[in-house]
Structure 1
Amino acid sequence: MSGARADIVRFAFIWTASLLSSVGSSLTAFVLGVWVYQSTGSPTQFALVVLSGMLPGILIGPFAGVVVDRFDRRTVMIVTDSLAAVATAAVAVLIWADALAVWHVALAGAVGGACGVFHLTAYQAMTPLLIPERHLGRANGLMHLATGVQIAAPVLGATLLAAVGMVGVVAIDLSTFGVAMMALLLIRLPAAVLRPNAAAERPAVLEDLGAGWRHLRSRAGLTALVAALTGFNFTFAVAGVLVQPLILSFAGPGVLGVLMFAGGAGMLAGGLVMGAWGGPRKKVAGMTAFMALGGVFLVLHSLTPSPLLVGFAAAAFLFTLPVVNGCAHAVLQSRVEPALLGRTMGTAHALGSAAIPVGYLLAAPLAEHLLNPALMPGGALAGSAGLIVGVGEGRGIALVLLLDGLLLLGVAAFLAALPALRRLDEQPALVAVT
């Protein structure tokens, strides 16, 4: 088997291991979220638990990049995945002992979120050293299948929760971890993939924390690319936190489940298409075009309270996500020095993900306390914005989604006008180490 083909097979094993682990983690996150909401009846506590799993990963991103560039990347994945599995096993024991509390769930989520960033950073840093540049779009599209699985997890999770209970679902999660761990342990990876430039002298850790940011700033267009991902993540977060309340404003829980499944199917389809296609040759232009399409589909959410329209718009919007992220990550991975991939990808992840909690925290209060009352019959906006999105229950949410879509269209237009970003499509890729 040729070296290039062998590396693709190695990537396939790592991808399968990561996908299996992600499926299990998504199921556990779903059933624990259901437990928190049913136990407390508090959307605020539910939201805080979700954020507890997200914020540590954002804050630790640059440090994860330093670790990934300094140590054996497979070892980093194994150690951090094992820590996450220990936290999950502790939750299983607490469930079995009927001693689970909300703070236990939040703590386990924080541990899992932090460990997940180490795994993702190592995964993204190894990928361009295994996959030729022409296939990076395909690889990143396949990597985003895990996100589609997470969105579709409620359908399978609800079925498993009824069949095997919470302990059974967590046990399934731990079994997927075991399979993924075996794959990581058995696969043979070149030393240059695990520790590129291992002999190089390393600066102090505190100085090294800023290396990813300095590298992004030193290469024309990469800072703008990360800013584009940050803007896209913000609009995605706004849509993600509001689409379920929007659907429930005109339909029941059964319809919500069907439409959530449709959205997850759209993202899965996007990942599969990106995996087969690889994206356009000009990745930055492709990312910009699919951002603009995403903006159009977000606007469609707001036009009328129709399950059919919202189901189509949600699936179509989520279809664009793997394409946008796949193109952007392919450009980043192919234009960063191999020895700096961990720190650069860790910094890019931290900057891009920081917009997600901001979107969560801004969108819901804006819709609930300001725009929903203004779009009720006789409200301040009933005679203006109400002519576009309608008047009544949930139309304030629709207006936020309309503005969200227009914002994404504006981001796409701004990116299309940036010469430095367009020039990234013409720059030669750095040679990957295989």
Structure 2
Amino acid sequence: MKQLHIFFHELHSFLILWITQALSTLGSSMTSFALIIWSYQQQGSALNTALLSVCSYVPYIMMSIFAGALSDRWDKKAIMLASDSFAAMCTIITLFLLQTGRLEIWHLYCLNALSGLMNTIQQPAADVTVSLLIPKKHYQKASGMRSFSNSLINILTPVIAAALLSLFQIQAVIIFDLVTFGIAFISLLFFVRIPQAIPRQEKREPVFRSAKTGLRYLKQNRGILDLILFLAAINFTASVYNAAFPAMLLSKENGGETVLGIVNSATGIALLLGSIAASVLPAPKSRVRVICNTLLFSMSTENFLLAFGNSVPVWCIGAILGWTCIPVMNANMDVLLRGHVPLPMQGRVFSTRNTLQFFTIPIGYFTGGILVDKVFEPLMASQPQNSLPSILFGTGKGSGAAFLFCLLAVVGIVTCLLFRKDPHIWKLEQ
């Protein structure tokens, strides 16, 4: 009991921030889920729907390398409050356009781009804030707790969003989003004190020089750089998957909105289990080995089951196998980075990491949308019903996306095996 009391005392501010920000993220995720369904119903195109994510990530990636310098210079709380407020304003505009019947897909592209731009500055500030609020001994537990909340969000998002959509309309989802934003904003403003990360005089370094410092640090630390590039390669495969996933489940004869919600909930349950494991497991002997093995297991299970399966239970099993290990991987990745990168450098290095690790995501979404709409769906539509591809991946709309999942499994396995041999990554163990 005494140890529990000490734990809560040491993490008091972090716990407030973690719970309220998680609630706000739930609201934002529900809005994104509802708008993806709205977009696919309006357009019927995997590419047009995937472009919603592309527009969010492109400004985030282009500006991230400079955002860390700003994050290191500016007050962390002010950055997070301003960024959250701007995102809420974009949500209010979306609600207004819906209410007046003027919402079009290009409006969402523009609003997502603006939100992504603000998230560029917010993300490194939030990452450094976590390091400032918790003792180093609690890094793995805190990472597991954050994974836990993200997992719970993945479970609750389709359930609550689908309930609100069926009982009311998409406007109810957006209003819920705005209410959760208000709770998080007030909590951060009045109840969370974030200490200064670095001395005031260091904040006067020019932005471009600070960004260059982050790049130079990674160049001099090849193990961290190669680990980031490993995740960038995985993110490309994962984002192609994300572009094809709703297109397949919404298009298949035995799919639909409810099925998409069920499989998403299975993904959330898997992440929840993995997060609990990440929180309670002792530190492994080799964090690099854990990262490599968990990603290899994930890539070699879910994609194959989505490709060859043709029922909700099989898709759910694939989601559980594919995502259970991801929080464990994230926790070990997080500990490696926070343990190796000096605290005064984390804003700059993490923002540079964001650019290098996530630049493949919009490329993957765009590629996935084109491959589904222009390559694999037309290819499967031209196949006779008794052909081998039709037997393996089914017929009708959605079978092309299933074919693509099979190829993604092979690409993911090869990627993991190649980076597993990288000697620079293994030197991080020393």
Unaligned runs of 5+ in 1: 427-434
> What is the CA deviation profile of residues 83-142 of structure 1, one whole-angstrom value per residue up to 9, with x for unaligned ones?
112222233333344443434333322222222332322121122233344432332233
**What is the alpha-carbon distance in structure 1 between the residues aligned to residue 60 and residue 329 of structure 2?**
22
Q: What residue number does 2:368 align with?
A: 363
2:339 pairs, out of 331, 334, 342, with 334
1:287 Cα deviation after fit: 0.8
Q: What residue number does 1:222 align with?
A: 224
> What is the CA deviation profile of residues 395-424 of structure 1, one whole-angstrom value per residue up to 9, with x for unaligned ones?
543332222222222222223222221121
Cα 1:329/1:302, change in 2 over 3 Å: same
* SS of residue in 1 equivalent to 2:200: coil
> What is the CA deviation profile of residues 203-242 of structure 1, one whole-angstrom value per residue up to 9, with x for unaligned ones?
3222222222211121230111101111121121122222
**What is the alpha-carbon distance in structure 2 between the residues aligned to residue 38 and residue 378 of structure 1?**
26
Task: Give 1:100-115 correspondences, 5 Å limit.
Answer: 100-115=103-118
Q: What residue number does 1:155 align with?
A: 159
Aligned residues with identical type, % of pairs:
25
1:22 pairs, out of 7, 22, 25, with 25
Cα 1:131/1:294, change in 2 over 3 Å: same
The residue type paired with residue 356 of structure 1 is I
Q: What residue number does 2:306 align with?
A: 301
**What is the alpha-carbon distance in structure 2 between the residues aligned to residue 103 and residue 374 of structure 1?**
29
Q: What residue number does 1:233 align with?
A: 235
* 1:186 maps onto 2:190 in alignment: yes
**What is the alpha-carbon distance in structure 1 between the residues aligned to residue 214 and residue 284 of structure 2?**
27
Q: What residue number does 2:200 align with?
A: 198
* SS of residue in 1 equivalent to 2:103: coil
Tell me if structure 1 keeps the 8 A contact 2:47–2:370. no
CA RMSD of aligned residues (A): 2.9
Tell me if structure 2 keeps the 8 A contact 1:282–1:425. yes
TM-score by length of 2: 0.87
Unaligned runs of 5+ in 2: none
**What is the alpha-carbon distance in structure 1 between the residues aligned to residue 263 and residue 395 of structure 2?**
21
Q: What residue number does 1:143 align with?
A: 146
**What is the alpha-carbon distance in structure 1 between the residues aligned to residue 283 and residue 376 of structure 2?**
38
The residue type paired with residue 180 of structure 1 is A
Deviating more after overlay: 202-211 vs 217-226 = 202-211
**What is the alpha-carbon distance in structure 1 between the residues aligned to residue 420 and residue 59 of structure 2?**
33
Paired residues in the alignment total 421
Task: Give 1:269-280 correspondences, 5 Å limit.
Answer: 269-277=273-281, 280=284
Q: What residue number does 2:56 align with?
A: 53
Task: Give 1:8-19 correspondences, 5 Å limit.
Answer: 8-19=11-22
TM-score by length of 1: 0.86
* SS of residue in 2 equivalent to 1:252: coil
The residue type paired with residue 32 of structure 2 is A
Q: What residue number does 1:90 align with?
A: 93
Cα 1:145/1:8, change in 2 over 3 Å: same
* SS of residue in 2 equivalent to 1:352: helix
Tell me if structure 2 keeps the 8 A contact 1:389–1:398. no
**What is the alpha-carbon distance in structure 2 between the residues aligned to residue 102 and residue 21 of structure 1?**
24
Q: What residue number does 2:356 align with?
A: 351
**What is the alpha-carbon distance in structure 2 between the residues aligned to residue 17 and residue 218 of structure 1?**
38
Q: What residue number does 2:405 align with?
A: 401
The residue type paired with residue 312 of structure 2 is P
1:416 pairs, out of 416, 420, 426, with 420
